[in-house]
Amino acid sequence: MLVDQQRTQPIIDAFYRVYQTLGSGFLEKVYERAMFHELTIQGLAVEPQYPIQVFYDGVIVGEYFADLFVNKEVIVEIEAADSISPAHEAQLVNYLRGTQTPLGLLLNFGPKPQVRRKILTPET
């Protein structure tokens, strides 16, 4: 768990810096761009709108885009909702499964800042 915290703490710190500056009320895209900027100036490798393909029986049946992929090891999903819902968490878990990325963060820029860390396990 300590390794996971070392990977995610810089992202979480950036989240709180962006939240302190912008607060809540903007569209998700504004927060995504602000997070991209903040993480980039920290020297992290960030890929915005990271493509995720869903396969069924060897055929692509869907394509989604994760908001940010940081250092090729953490998928970051950004929300701007009243609170994090089970649907938001399920979406992140599906992204982790689809990419076989072991670690994800769900960041909500709602009325109260919220962070959820998800770890891909065989049970997930």
Domain ranges of the chain: 2-119
Instruction: Specify the CATH number of the domain 2-119.
Output: 3.90.320.10
Three-state SS annotation for the chain: CHHHHHHHHHHHHHHHHHHHHHCCCCCHHHHHHHHHHHHHHCCCCEEEEEEEEEEECCEEEEEEEEEEEECCCEEEEEECCCCCCHHHHHHHHHHHHHHCCCEEEEEEECCCEEEEEEECCCCC
Residues 6 or more apart whose CB falls under 8 angstroms from that of 104 comprise 74, 75, 76, 77, 92, 93, 95, 96, 117, 118, 119, 120
Total length of the chain: 124
pLDDT of residue 4: 80
User: CA 98 → CA 8, 34, 108, 121, 124, distances in Å?
Assistant: 20, 26, 22, 13, 12
**pLDDT over 70 (residue 108):** yes
pTM of the entire predicted model: 0.92
Mean pLDDT of 72-88: 97
pLDDT 10s digits, 35-76 = 999 999 999 999 999 999 888 899 999 899 999 999 999 999
